[in-house]
Amino acid sequence: MGCCQPIDKVTAIVEQYKGEKGALIPVLHAVQKELGYLPKDALETIAAGLNIPASEVYGTTTFYTLFSTKEKAENIIRVCESGPCHVSGYQKVLEAIKEELNIEVGEATEDKKFYLEMTACLGVCAEAPAIMINDKTYVNLTPEKVKALLASF
Amino acid sequence: MNYIETDGVKIVLRNFGKIDPLKVEEYVARGGYESLKKALTAMTPEAVIEEVKASGLRGRGGAGFPTGLKWSFTKKDADQKYIVCNADEGEPGTAKDRLIMTGDPHGLIEGMAIAGYAIGATKGFIYCRGEYTTSINTLNHAINQARENGFLGENLFGTDFTFNLEVRSGAGAYVCGEETALIESIEGHRGMPRFKPPFPGGAGLWGKPTVVNNVETLANVPVILDKGADWYKSIGTEKSAGTKIFILCGNLRNTGALELPFGMTVREVMETYGGGLLTGRDLQMVHLGGAASGIMPPALIDTPLTYEDLQAVGQGLGSGVILAIDDQKDFMSYICSNTHFFEHESCGKCTPCREGTARINEILHRIAAGDGTLEDLDNLKDLGEMMQISALCGLGQAAPTPVLTSLEHFMDKYVEAVSGKKNEVNEEAVATEAIHKSYYEAAPIKLD
Amino acid sequence: MINLTIDGKQVQAESGMTILQAAKANGIEIPTFCYDPALSKAGACRICVVEVEGARLLAAACVAPIYEGMVVHTNSEKVQKSRRINLELLWANHNQDCLTCEKAGECKLQELCYKYGVTESRFEGKKRNLPIFDDNPFYIRDYNKCINCGKCIRACQEIQINETYDFVDRGFNTHPDTAYRVDLMAKESPCVFCGNCVAVCPTGALTSKINRGTFRTWEVEKKVKTTCTYCGCGCGLELNVIGNKVVRVTPDLSGTTPNEHGALCTKGRFGFDFINREDRLTNPLIKENGKFRKASWEEALDLIASKLKGIADVNGGNSLMFLSSARTTNEENYLMQKLSRAVFKTNNVDHCARL
Ligand SMILES: Cc1cc2nc3c(=O)[nH]c(=O)nc-3n(C[C@H](O)[C@H](O)[C@H](O)COP(=O)(O)O)c2cc1C
Ligand code: SF4
Ligand code: SF4
Ligand code: SF4
């Protein structure tokens, strides 16, 4: 695309989807993939470009847990807390992550390398407990395994 | 995802592990797209609907609505109709649709094209949950291949039927599995369900007649056309025809997903394929069907896994989850994890669910912490029963089910928990509560 | 026409009606929060639920269509119980300061809690706990009293066509807010302070700042119907009067005025404080030797007439210019141009409605 400002990338993405029906959520995904999160100026560009009220763009963004208006970190860790992971002991895995990274749920490490949050079911319930780091799911975890996994980042 | 091989007949997983899902030619080599060809060149849309009706196929997304009947209810005259595949798979414990999407994507695409032909839709959407990046990539790859090979696009098999397909990604909202919330989400809005009527079959996506079906439901369709409704109906039971993917998880020796004809009992499946519980453990309960279904006590595990038998004992098949929980797990803390889920996933549109899920969760955590009272139990029942009949959508209507069914079958545990024996504070319950608490504190309430 | 039974009464209603409409047409009231005939439907608050024989679920009367042979119970045991729990749920998540709430006496939540005997909630616990937004001269937003009916959002979108608000967040945290949660005066906020959102809010979540804390809703002695004088639209207003003072303006909802659905603009709704201002002119003043003095109307009008006539007689009517005010009625403005054109034979007439 030959552009270097983040906002130009947003404009380019919006251009690509313009005129498509129901473009908002695909655009939010694409922009977040590009920028890591959805800052206000990006949302403003999207609202103007797709001709959708800013209130609706913002309201929609805040509805979905995969969208973030805050900068989180380089890697986002999502720990599944649904029933199957619960009975398979996700609590110990979570403790291990918190201990290893020295952060609580909803926090980023100081070096902004990891952000920790919880998630509902990841759909790998027969291999619980499971976590997701960025786009990838990791299964059958134990405290030892998850520590080793974090070290590989 | 663990897949458990069985000896029996396979329908939706017939190609699983036998073909390279990224190669359309391997699907074709096993008879793929023949059913679509048959439908387009040798059957009228009405005949396709009749065949599906006669097969007895019922929706695999949780509600079990007869698929052929749903298709026949689609409004006839409209300039545009849509077929939408519900691949949101958000029901905790459910890990079946992803097997189909990543293992045999063309089976789903073929099923959708046939469904599109049957109802007169020229455009389809697959709404796949955002976390399933592999499924989304596999589907997009398969759609491109299908288009290149003339299985999608204009004038399929030389007929005047045109069908195009697009994958849309969800963004982390369980409620978007509810069909009208899903439609809202594809349109680009907050995933808040619509009131019904109008039903999607009358006015759905962008106000046009729309059929929403689950992945597994649609994946059955090519086989039904290929082998015929009679063959299909001969599998399973009278009222639950065909096969179902079950997901064995929790405290079993073997866990994984498997395709079985309807009719085995919960116990048989857990023992034959799950290998039973670990030595020295007893079964405490089975959470059958997913987070929104009932809690099953050990006394009921000889119930056959069919729509009708489970309904008769006040339980539900849901999406096919069999979550076994042994006696080492803390009862209250499990229920708390469930109520926490629904509070987190309520869309917030209607009062009974937005406020009710939060209060149920609050009361359960209070009880788990040893601060509950007997009145709390009455209040739970009152509130739960009100939500079942007054909430706007299936989420709020079903959210109290685990609490209400467990109150019915495990009253002793609740009474024990509220009877002031606070000294025996359960570590697991405390840990769970601490996690949930930190979660809420981290939840974005104001100012980013 | 459709035949149905509501509360044991055989009634008829037009096909296409909802249960709520059919009941209303037959004199049966069903309570509502999120329903407003002027707005699109939400079906969200569930306070209007009714029992339909043969149905597993209660039906939301505001959106459920009627059908032939339908049997409806609008106030059965089951219905009352559901409404009571609904109110308990709302009350538990409410900033319960009725004593000093501006809305007291006109609040729908208060009214229904009274009607259904809800004096306390069994579901007390955490609350929404948001700051109170006092960020503009016209109205205050206290979402701790908001019941998420969504009417403010729809009023702004559908009546004002301004889209200031949408719901933000999800589940228990859901509430209406502006894009990026900015203040209403921020440059990103499209709000024009028409107050149409305030007018539809059923609770004390959105309340006017004008004369706040100086009167109770039930002290309003009379509502004087009048026509807004700010511009030529001719919106119907009701001046709410206590003693000899206008304490607030509400729209004329009789349906006979040009402002359908009672829509008003910021001037018509909030701009009435001049009426009782101390520095407002209440007598004509005549300037003599560089100083104003009070005069009677007769004296002042005589003076004006003689001066105008004198100038016109000497220099002709075109030496005069008439400028009238939007703060007077259309009839008065009409008379002004008549005076100019018919009496003084000049077209030099203009009007200030260019605000
Ligand atoms: C809260 C909620 C979540 C749901 N999630 C799903 C889901 O993830 N996948 C699905 O197929 N159906 C889900 N459903 C059911 C759908 O609303 C709908 O009934 C189904 O997609 C219809 O397809 P079927 O007839 O083929 O089962 C959900 C329903 C509710 C109320
Ligand atoms: S029941 Fe829950 S999820 Fe469904 S509309 Fe109401 S608040 Fe939303
Ligand atoms: S005052 Fe008018 S413009 Fe402002 S938010 Fe309310 S309705 Fe919208
Ligand atoms: S602020 Fe008032 S009108 Fe708006 S949603 Fe809340 S209660 Fe309804």
**Which pLDDT does position B442 carry in this prediction?**
41
What is the CATH code for B243-326?
Answer: 3.10.20.600
C8's tokens = 């044991």
A40's tokens = 């206000």
User: Taking residues A123-148, what's their average pLDDT?
Assistant: 93
Q: What is the pLDDT of residues B241-261, one digit of tens each?
A: 999 999 999 999 999 999 999
Instruction: Decide: helix, strand or coil at residue C205.
Output: coil
Q: What is the pLDDT of residues C113-122, one digit of tens each?
A: 999 999 999 9
| Domain covering A75-151: architecture | 3-Layer(aba) Sandwich (3.40)
Structural domains of chain C, count:
5
How far is C218 from chain B, CA to nearest CA, in Å? 29
pLDDT class of C232 with cuts at 50, 70, 90: confident
- Least Cα distance to A152 among A78, A100, A81 occurs for A100
User: Would you give the distance in Å from CA B440 to the centre of its chain?
Assistant: 27
Q: Does domain B24-233 have CATH number 3.40.50.11540?
A: yes
Amino acid at B56: G
CA pair distance C65, C21, nearest whole angstrom: 9
pLDDT class of B370 with cuts at 50, 70, 90: very high
Residue of B nearest to C131 (CA): B446
B74's tokens = 């689609």
Note the pTM of the prediction, 2 decimals: 0.93
Q: What is the pLDDT of residues B274-327, one digit of tens each?
A: 999 988 899 999 999 999 999 999 999 999 999 999 999 999 999 999 999 999
Residue C119 lies in domain: 105-208
**Which pLDDT does position C120 carry in this prediction?**
96
* B356 close to C (CB below 8 A): yes
Element (H, E) at C172: none
Same domain, residue pair C251 and C330: no
CB under 6 Å to ligand 3: residues? C 155-156, 160, 162, 164, 191-197
Same domain, residue pair C131 and C203: yes
Residue C91 within a domain: no
**Which pLDDT does position B438 carry in this prediction?**
53
User: What secondary structure letter does DSSP report for C1?
Assistant: -
R_g of chain A, CA atoms, integer Å = 18
Residue whose CA is at the smallest distance from ligand 1 atom 30: B178
Decide if A55 and C188 are in contact by the 8 Å CB cutoff.
Answer: no
**Which pLDDT does position B279 carry in this prediction?**
87
What was the ipTM of the complex prediction?
Answer: 0.94
What are phi and psi for residue B227, nearest 5 degrees?
-100, -10
Distances (CA, A) of A42 to A6, B186, C131, C144: 8, 21, 27, 30
Same domain, residue pair C41 and C67: yes
Residue C327 within a domain: yes
CA pair distance B118, B72, nearest whole angstrom: 9
Nearest-ligand number for the alpha carbon of C196: 3
Residue whose CA is at the smallest distance from ligand 3 atom 2: C194
C44 CA distance to ligand 3 middle (Å): 22
Average pLDDT, chain C: 95
Residue C83 within a domain: no
Q: Do C263 and C246 touch, CB atoms closer than 8 A? A: no
Q: What is the pLDDT of residues C163-196, one digit of tens each?
A: 999 999 999 999 999 999 999 999 999 999 999 9
CATH value at residue C254: 2.20.25.90
C324 CA distance to ligand 2 middle (Å): 56
CA pair distance B64, C121, nearest whole angstrom: 37
CA pair distance B15, B4, nearest whole angstrom: 14
How far is B105 from chain C, CA to nearest CA, in Å? 33
Chain B residue numbers touching C181 (CB-CB < 8 A): 446-448
Q: Do B173 and B191 touch, CB atoms closer than 8 A? A: yes
- Greater pLDDT, C273 or B51: B51
CA pair distance C224, C245, nearest whole angstrom: 11
Q: Which of C169, C170, C178 sits opposite A55 (nearest CB)?
A: C178
**Which pLDDT does position B425 carry in this prediction?**
53
Same domain, residue pair C22 and C6: yes
Residue whose CA is at the smallest distance from ligand 4 atom 4: C152
B330 CA distance to ligand 1 middle (Å): 30
Q: Please, where are the H alpha helices in B75-128? A: 97-103, 105-119
Average pLDDT, chain B: 94
**Which pLDDT does position B435 carry in this prediction?**
63
Q: Is pLDDT above 70 for B422?
A: no
Same domain, residue pair C185 and C221: no
Residue C43 within a domain: yes
Q: Do B376 and B418 touch, CB atoms closer than 8 A? A: yes
Nearest-ligand number for the alpha carbon of B386: 2
Q: Please, where are the H alpha helices in chain C? A: 19-25, 77-92, 108-115, 151-154, 196-200, 266-270, 297-315, 330-338
A6's tokens = 């983040």
**Which pLDDT does position A22 carry in this prediction?**
97
Decide if C188 and A53 are in contact by the 8 Å CB cutoff.
Answer: no
Decide if A121 and B173 are in contact by the 8 Å CB cutoff.
Answer: no
Same domain, residue pair C112 and C203: yes
Decide if B359 and C89 are in contact by the 8 Å CB cutoff.
Answer: yes
Amino acid at C75: N
Look up tokens 């805050």; give the residue. Answer: A70
102-141 in A: which are within 8 Å (CB) of C? Answer: none
Q: What is the pLDDT of residues C18-66, one digit of tens each?
A: 999 999 999 999 999 999 999 999 999 999 999 999 999 999 999 999 9
CA pair distance A38, B397, nearest whole angstrom: 34
C223 CA distance to ligand 3 middle (Å): 24
Element (H, E) at B375: helix B374-390
Q: Is pLDDT above 90 for B390?
A: yes
Domain ranges of chain B: 24-233, 243-326, 331-440
pLDDT class of A138 with cuts at 50, 70, 90: very high
pLDDT class of C330 with cuts at 50, 70, 90: confident
Q: Is pLDDT above 80 for C100?
A: yes
Q: Do A144 and A150 touch, CB atoms closer than 8 A? A: no
Residue C116 within a domain: yes
Q: What is the pLDDT of residues B325-354, one digit of tens each?
A: 999 999 999 999 999 999 999 999 999 999
**Which pLDDT does position A1 carry in this prediction?**
43
How far is B227 from chain A, CA to nearest CA, in Å? 31
Q: Is pLDDT above 50 for B431?
A: yes
Q: Do B413 and B421 touch, CB atoms closer than 8 A? A: no
User: Taking residues B95-118, what's their average pLDDT?
Assistant: 97
Q: Do A96 and B150 touch, CB atoms closer than 8 A? A: no
CA pair distance A62, A69, nearest whole angstrom: 8
Same domain, residue pair C322 and C346: yes
CATH class for domain B331-440? mainly alpha
**Which pLDDT does position B417 carry in this prediction?**
94
CA pair distance C17, C28, nearest whole angstrom: 14
Domain with CATH 3.40.30.10 in chain A: 75-151
**Which pLDDT does position B448 carry in this prediction?**
32
Ligand 4 atom nearest residue C148's Cα: 5
Query: Helix and strand tally (H, E) in chain B?
Result: 19, 9
Residue C238 within a domain: yes
pLDDT class of C348 with cuts at 50, 70, 90: very high
pLDDT class of A2 with cuts at 50, 70, 90: very low
pLDDT class of B436 with cuts at 50, 70, 90: low
Q: Please, where are the H alpha helices in A88-151? A: 90-101, 143-151
Tell how strand B123-128 and strand B82-87 pair up: parallel
CA pair distance A68, A37, nearest whole angstrom: 5
C-beta of C45 in contact with ligand 4 (< 6 A): no
Q: Is pLDDT above 50 for B263?
A: yes
* Percent with pLDDT over 70 in chain B: 93
Distances (CA, A) of C187 to A60, B190, C182, C190: 21, 25, 9, 8
Q: Which of C203, C207, C208 to mutate to test the pocket of ligand 4 (most atoms within 8 A of CB)?
A: C203
User: Taking residues B207-218, what's their average pLDDT?
Assistant: 98
What are phi and psi for residue C6, nearest 5 degrees?
-120, 120
Residue C82 within a domain: no
- Least Cα distance to A75 among A113, A38, A106, A111 occurs for A113
User: Taking residues B152-174, what's their average pLDDT?
Assistant: 97
pLDDT class of B439 with cuts at 50, 70, 90: very low
Q: Is pLDDT above 80 for B441?
A: no
User: Would you give the distance in Å from CA B361 to the centre of its chain?
Assistant: 23
